Amino acid sequence: MSDLQSLLHRLSRAGVDFVIVGGYAGIVHGCTYVTQDIDICCDFSPANLLTLQQALNDVHPVHRMTPGRKPLELTPENAGEFKNLYLDTDLGRLDCLSYVEGLGSYEQVKQASERFEVEGAQLRVLSIDALITAKRAMNRPRDREAIRQLQNVKRLRRQGSTQ
């Protein structure tokens, strides 16, 4: 199991409420590009964020986007102040988003997800159509490439189901 998969399994075992979005979601659907991080959209309630922190505690999460790369130190009082968390851990990068461009809030993202088995764990992953919508909204060069691959995966699935 890769370090990124280990990161996802930790979150799942701890009971963190999240959906895999971004590049790793594309890989789950069959894309061939490489990603160096995990992007999740999650419930940003203090309880869920504190559960996330507990799940990551022993892999030393730090805020990647802050001067001095401060350790993740959430409390019941400050956990509600965050919209996104951009973390580095001993297992890799984890970007936690409360909103996905083109789709909306966590609840909307969760409704646009489906369950997949990833290395023995049942994880929520953005559906292929929702992932295409999100990639279109971002419209970066790497997103346009991902859209091409995702559309090819959809086409191959359709052809496979009609044969």
Q: How many domains does the chain have?
A: 1
142 has pLDDT over 90: no
Is a pLDDT exceeding 80 seen at residue 1? Answer: no
Going by the DSSP 8-state scheme, the letter that residue 95 receives in this structure is E
Q: Mean pLDDT throughout 114-119?
A: 91
Output the six-digit token pair for 39.
């992007």
Domain coverage including residue 23: 3-161
Condensed to tens digits (0 to 9), the pLDDT of residues 30-86 reads 888 878 899 999 999 999 999 999 999 999 999 999 888 999 999 999 998 999 999
Residue 13 burial (CB count, 10 A): 10
End-to-end CA distance of the chain: 33
141: CATH: 3.30.460.40
- Report the C-alpha gap between 138 and 43 in whole angstroms: 21
